[in-house]
Amino acid sequence: MTHEDSEKIKRIYEIYEQPMYRISFAVLKRSDLAEDAVSDAFIRIIDRLKKIKDPDSPKTKAYIVKVIKSTSINIYRKNKRSLVRESPIDESTKQIPDTSQNVEEHVEAVMDRQNKRNLLNKLNETDRNIINLRCGNELSWKEVAERTSLTESTARKRFERARKHLINMKGDLTDEKYETPRQQ
């Protein structure tokens, strides 16, 4: 590589590095991939350096924009394919125990779940079933109606009434909330 080629590369870098990054980031939406695209594009430009006469010319600018766009799109496609090939993670592998959670928070969470169960158990069986199907199983109103042998509007109305009843019962429980004695 001649001194003239080195100066040409340096000039191209000074002029186009930031615009190339911005173009690449617009395509890839990730800075690490955009930086990789700029590096790959410069390698391609250096391989064809003899074709570039003047780094400041509009023809050079058009060429560099074309190179960075195609490089960015290739990286996008490559990463898109690899993401599709990755196997989905099941729920059990995503659950990592939180070691920062202290015992009091854990006990409070258990008590909260127990309180919710107690509240649900105070509802009649049909209303409890509607709440579980809609909230727990995330079924549509049509599916809830089919499983409970009710019309959709009846299932919705019973759900709303049960929800209000649960809110009222929960309010009664918080008034009588159990407090632990504090150490002195």
Q: Provide the domain count of the chain.
A: 2
Domain boundary among 19, 54, 85: 85
Does the residue 97 lie in any domain?
Answer: no
Please indicate, yes or no, whether the overall pTM of this predicted structure exceeds 0.75. no
Count, residues in the chain? 184
Residues of the domain holding 80: 3-85
Local confidence band at 87 (pLDDT 50, 70, 90 cut-offs)? very low
Q: How many CB atoms lie within 10 A of CB 143?
A: 15
Domain boundary among 21, 54, 85: 85
Q: How far apart are CA 49 and CA 92, in angstroms?
A: 53
CATH of the domain at 125: 1.10.10.10
* pLDDT attached to residue 107: 56
pLDDT digits (tens, 9 = 90+) for 121-167: 888 888 888 888 888 777 888 988 898 898 989 988 998 888 888 77
For residues 8 and 62, membership in a common domain is answered with: yes
Does the residue 92 lie in any domain?
Answer: no
Q: How far apart are CA 152 and CA 146, in angstroms?
A: 8
Does the residue 151 lie in any domain?
Answer: yes
56, containing H or E segment: none
Residue type, 115: N
Does the residue 180 lie in any domain?
Answer: no
Answer yes or no: are the C-beta atoms of 38 and 47 closer than 8 Å.
no
| pLDDT surpassing 70 at residue 42 | yes
Average pLDDT, the chain: 78
* pLDDT attached to residue 77: 87
Q: How far apart are CA 138 and CA 62, in angstroms?
A: 53
